[in-house]
Amino acid sequence: MKELSLNILDIVENSVKAGAALTEILLEETEDKIVLTIKDDGCGMDEQMVKSVIDPFCTTRTTRKVGLGIPLLKMAAEQTGGGIDIVSKQGENHGTIVSAVFFKNHIDFTPLGDVVSTIVTLIQGHPDTDFLFIHKKDDKEVQLDTRMLREVLEGVPLNCYEVIKWTQDYLKEQYEGL
């Protein structure tokens, strides 16, 4: 993928599909790297499933279609000298944490791209799901919490035009300071 923001979109879609009520998207950026953490409270996966999603061609299972969202994230991270990690739990306290490290100065680093559009697209497509987005860079940060937005909006859907537009402007404005 040309932009990491598209990988992020794909990975967060997995969380939504897993029935997550809240998905946290954290970007921690320093001089030389970006650490991405996507944490959800969805249904989770068992150990075998985690193995097969990381390496879909290694699985002996042919009955289940396995996608490429996670392998593509893995490739984007590994080609910079970084990597990914998945921790997942089913049953009590179910959920999944997908984390990835990217080295920014590596020649094969894929730029982050349009993260604002990714976040806005997620909210627009899933107005009843909550997202906490934080992008930290040095001592500054961009933040959006749909739970707080929802509280203020008192029943107005998060995907109505005015709210989407406001959200987009709010994020863009914060990015000017990052």
Ligand X SMILES: Nc1ncnc2c1ncn2[C@@H]1O[C@H](COP(=O)(O)OP(=O)(O)O)[C@@H](O)[C@H]1O
Residues in the interface with ligand X (CB under 6 A) total 16
Of positions 5, 6, 9, 14, contacts Mg ion by CB under 5 A: 14
DSSP states of the chain? ---HHHHHHHHHHHHHHTT-SEEEEEEEE-SSEEEEEEEE-S----HHHHHHHHSTTT----SS---SHHHHHHHHHHTTT-EEEEEEE-STT-EEEEEEEEETTSTTPPP---HHHHHHHHHHH-TTSEEEEEEEETTEEEEEEHHHHHHHHTT--TTSHHHHHHHHHHHHHHHHT-
Q: Smaller CB distance to Mg ion: residue 53 or 163?
A: 53
82, interface contact from Mg ion, ligand X, none, CB < 5-8 Å by kind: none
Could you tell me the smallest distance in angstroms from the CB atom of residue 97 to ligand X?
Answer: 9
Could you tell me the smallest distance in angstroms from the CB atom of residue 151 to ligand X?
Answer: 26
Q: Which residues of 13-29 are buried (b: 16+ CB within 10 A; e: fewer)?
A: bbbbebebebbbbbbeb
Q: Smaller CB distance to ligand X: residue 4 or 70?
A: 70
Could you tell me the smallest distance in angstroms from the CB atom of residue 99 to Mg ion?
Answer: 16
Could you tell me the smallest distance in angstroms from the CB atom of residue 10 to ligand X?
Answer: 6
Interaction of residue 42 with ligand X, rule CB under 6 A: yes
Could you tell me the smallest distance in angstroms from the CB atom of residue 9 to Mg ion?
Answer: 9
What is the distance between the alpha carbons of residues 60 and 159, in angstroms, rounded to a whole number?
A: 41
Interaction of residue 52 with Mg ion, rule CB under 5 A: no
Interaction of residue 14 with ligand X, rule CB under 6 A: yes
Interaction of residue 96 with ligand X, rule CB under 6 A: yes
Of positions 4, 8, 18, 100, contacts ligand X by CB under 6 A: 18
Retrieve residue 67's tokens. Answer: 């996608």
Residues that bind ligand X (CB under 6 A): 10, 14-15, 18, 40, 42-45, 53, 66-70, 96
